Every structure is written in structure tokens, then in C-alpha cells.
Amino acid sequence: MKCVLWLLLFLSWTSSLFAVEVLTPALRTVVKKDALYLVFKGPVDSKVLVKKGVGAVFIRKDSLAGVYVFHYLLKLRRGENLFFIDPGGERLKIFYKHSSPVFYSYHRKGREKECLPCHNRDFVPSRCVACHRFEKDTAVYLHGPFYRKRCFSCHEREYQKGKRFFVLGSSDFDLCMRCHTAPLVWQDMLYQHGPFGARSCTPCHDPHQAKYRFLLKNEPRLEVCLVCHRKKAEDLVRSGYKVHPIVSAKGCTVCHDPHASDYPKQLYDKPYNVCVGCHPKFKGRKRGHPVVAHPIVGVYIPGTRKKLTCSSCHDPHGSVYDSLLYASKAGNRICIWCHKY
């Protein structure tokens, strides 16, 4: 019994002597990105142990008046992540949620105090990039103002409560409009794409740098659209599903504008015109397909208020039936689809 007490006393003494103090992030926190810096003070042989998470990359160890300051980069996976600092037992619990209204923010008044002995106090962009090392390995396209380190053309000079990433303006749209005029034109069009209508640009564009042209975050043919359009993504890999060859070859934006247009579903033109642009043998033809004298455009589908056009019979994305039809040709099912014989 006695020796257990002694042991406890000894342990509490040693842990206060070699106390670990985490400077950033908060011990329990929520973030929206897959990597986060960990800076802590601790004894010379401190280590970070990963219990749940992708990894903890050691960056550097510096001594400051006899205390060691450690820099790590924590690599996170979706959901809960757990890291332990050994010795000291400090336990970090970090939730990585893709969409979360509240998340950890380092730049709050007072927090920088601990960093200033080693990091420059001047609030200048060169100082920003000393800490924010934006990985360059995959990025090929750099956004002009970012490349020129004009951080303050988009970010507030100081942390502002409630401001997402303390970005200037009340929305992405507002921010981007400071330099780009194209969104003004798109805003006046009749049909606006969901995210653009919600004034957000960053689901598709990276404001700093990207691997793909137009600063796109994802592969621009399909992935940039399929990240949200999951139903379409599932279709494309469904067994027996025949994809319209042009969808796999050129992607979604050969027919749809990613921002806005004057035609329904943000098509570049009326469906008939979109189709005949690539299938010229139908150009100018209003009748005679798929069977003799059959109308193609300009008439209403029986029993509906929808006008007949190419995409009334063909799914422009793909189908499990031949010729991208909405129903099988066998037993005239495609005909019965409209004609209740």
C-alpha cells in the first residue's frame, strides 16, 4: 500500500518536472482539413504516438531557455483521431469532419504569444508562409495573388470571430468578385447551378493552388462533378450500364456549364442543338427517327406538357439498354413508354 502511494507521489513529481504543454491545437477539437500542426513544449525525448489517425510527421525540435519545443504535422483520417504525447500522457482528440460549422482556429488573440520568441512578430505575408508551407509536390497551377504572396487580398489582417478562415467578403462569390467579372455575367443567367447559386466556389476551386487547370480541386472531366453527384457516379460503374461514349471521353462539361446558363439543367443550348452538334446526321431533321415519319422535336409527348426531344427517348448519360434508350427495344417497350397501345 505504502509503496503504491510513494509511486504515485513520484509519478506526479516527475510529470510536473517534465510537464508537456500543448501550444496548438486545443486538446479536443474539430477541424475541416486532413492535416494539422501540433506544437508543444516537453522533455527532450518526447514522442507522439498515433492511436487513431494516419500519422504524426516529426518536423523539428528547438530548445528555448532549456525547454524543448516540438513541431509535428498530424495527418488525419475522417472521424475521430487520437494522439498521445509520451511522456506526459497528454491526449489529443481531433475530429476531422468534412462539413462542420465550428472548427479549430489557431489565430485568436493571445495564442500567438507562445510562438513569438521564435516567429517574427511582423504581420507580413512572408511570415504567413513560414508557417503555412502549402505542399507544392502535386500543385501545378498557382493562383496569381497566392503566387505573389498577396495573402491579404483575400484574408483579413487579423482573426475575426465567426469569419470562416477569416476570408474577406461575405461569401466566396463576394471575394472572387473583387478581381473576377465573369461571375457577374453568370449571375444574370436564367439557370444557376446549385453551389454557384449558393455563392460558393471553393467546393470546386482551390483558392491557392491546384493540380488541375482552372485551379480545380478534382480531376476536371468527371470527378469534379461526381464528388457531389453520387447517383451519377454509381451509375457509371453499374454492371451492364453503357456510358454515352462522350461522357467518358470528355466529361460532364461538354454539355453542362458548371456555373450557369440560359437553358434548363445549365445546358449550353437546347437539348436538340446540343445533340445535333455532335450527331450532324440529325441536323435540321424534325421527323423520320427512330421510325419513318416519327416526329423528333416540336410536338408534345402524349398525356404530358413536355416537348419531345432527343433526351425524351435517350438518356444522355448512359443506359442499361441499347442506344442509350430509357427502355428496351425488345417487345417495343421503348414505344409503349409513351404510346399506351
Amino acid 199 reads: R
Q: Considering the complex, state which of residue 86 and residue 219 has its C-beta at the smaller distance from ligand HEC.
A: 219
Stretch touching ligand HEC by CB under 6 A, among 4-12, 43-51, 59-67, 93-101: 59-67
List 26, 189, 254, 320, residue binding ligand HEC (CB under 6 A) = 254
Which residue has the CB atom at the shortest distance from ligand HEC? 194
List 20, 94, 176, 260, residue binding ligand HEC (CB under 6 A) = 176
Please report whether residue 271 would count as binding ligand HEC according to CB under 6 A: yes
Determine the size of the site formed for ligand HEC (CB under 6 A): 125
Cis (ω within 30 of 0) for the bond into 271?
no
Please report whether residue 313 would count as binding ligand HEC according to CB under 6 A: yes
Q: Considering the complex, state which of residue 87 and residue 203 has its C-beta at the smaller distance from ligand HEC.
A: 203
Stretch touching ligand HEC by CB under 6 A, among 43-51, 75-83, 87-95, 292-300: 292-300
Q: Considering the complex, state which of residue 93 and residue 289 has its C-beta at the smaller distance from ligand HEC.
A: 289
Please report whether residue 58 would count as binding ligand HEC according to CB under 6 A: no
List 27, 279, 288, 298, residue binding ligand HEC (CB under 6 A) = 279
- Cα angle vertex 105, ends 61, 27, to 5°? 60
Which residues in 118-157 contact ligand HEC (CB under 6 A)?
118-119, 123, 125, 127-133, 143-146, 149-151, 153-155
Please report whether residue 21 would count as binding ligand HEC according to CB under 6 A: no
Q: Are 75 and 35 in contact (CB under 8 A)?
A: yes
Stretch touching ligand HEC by CB under 6 A, among 4-12, 45-53, 88-96, 170-178: 170-178
Which residues in 75-104 contact ligand HEC (CB under 6 A)?
none
Stretch touching ligand HEC by CB under 6 A, among 1-9, 11-19, 75-83, 305-313: 305-313
Q: What are phi and psi of 335, to 5 degrees?
A: -75, -40
* Residue given cell 528547438 in the structure block: 62
List 23, 76, 85, 94, residue binding ligand HEC (CB under 6 A) = 23
Residue 215 has which C-alpha cell? 485551379
Q: Are 106 and 25 in contact (CB under 8 A)?
A: yes
Which residues in 183-242 contact ligand HEC (CB under 6 A)?
183, 193-196, 201-205, 207-208, 214-216, 220, 222, 224-225, 227-229, 232, 242
Cis (ω within 30 of 0) for the bond into 117?
no
List 28, 33, 47, 51, residue binding ligand HEC (CB under 6 A) = 33
> What is the rounded CA–CA span in Å between residue 92 and residue 56?
12
Distances (CA, A) of 256 to 22, 147, 152, 155, 260: 49, 31, 34, 32, 9
Q: Which of 18, 24, 17, 19 is nearest to 115 (CA)?
A: 24
Please report whether residue 39 would count as binding ligand HEC according to CB under 6 A: yes
> What is the rounded CA–CA span in Å between residue 206 and residue 69?
32
> What is the rounded CA–CA span in Å between residue 41 and residue 20?
6
- CA atoms in the 13 A half-sphere facing the CB of 13: 6
CB of 16 to ligand HEC, least distance (A): 21
Residues 6+ apart with CB under 8 A from 16: none
Burial class (CB in 10 A: 0-12, 13-18, 19+), 71: middle
> What is the rounded CA–CA span in Å between residue 231 and residue 224?
14
Q: Considering the complex, state which of residue 20 and residue 275 has its C-beta at the smaller distance from ligand HEC.
A: 275
CB of 80 to ligand HEC, least distance (A): 18
Q: Are 257 and 264 in contact (CB under 8 A)?
A: no
CB of 324 to ligand HEC, least distance (A): 4
Q: Considering the complex, state which of residue 211 and residue 289 has its C-beta at the smaller distance from ligand HEC.
A: 289
